Amino acid sequence: MRWYWIDRFIEFESGRRAKAIKVISLAEEYLHDHFPSYPIIPHPLIIEGVAQTGGLLVAEYNAFEEKVVLAKISKAKFHGDAVPGDVLTYTADVEYIKKDGAMILGTVHRGEELFGHMELVFAHLQNGHENRTLYEPRMFLQMMRMLGAYRIGHAADGGPLIEPAGLSGR
């Protein structure tokens, strides 16, 4: 991933739920394109923030061994525009994680207000992609570290979230 659309995790329960926040700052370059006289964060970038929150949740569940990609946006609805100064909270709740993919139900809150909701489907790439390097799993591990998932996260059994042993070399 080249862009981070979340600033940090505030909750992370392996295989169940993750919450992350995004603080919208006027210093973010893309805001000056949408629109010069009225800067807003485009809804597709908000969807990407929820997808990164949910995608990391799905990938962590399988110790980053699966190649997880966003496959489908089943539903997405927003209530207004998000502007500089807003703090968005992205919540990704796992509906299911199966061998071939996963589905999350995502919500976006601006303060206490429900700002948007969506259904996102992720695929686990197989059939010819097993030996293809699409990403380095250590990159996702580094994202999880930078975004604070291992500081605040919980494993499925309620214990602390622990980095996958095969990836943890610093």
- Which residues are catalytically annotated? 34
40 vs 54: CA distance, rounded Å: 23
Tokens (6 digits) for 63:
């110790």
Written as one letter, the residue type at 111 is: G
Helix (H) or strand (E) holding 151, with range, is helix 149-152
Name the 3-class secondary structure at 135. Answer: coil
Read off φ and ψ for residue 140, nearest 5 degrees: -70, -35
Contact indicator for 164, 140 with CB cutoff of 8 Å: no
Provide the H-helix boundaries in 2-136: 43-61
Considering just the CA atoms, what is the radius of gyration of the chain in Å? 16
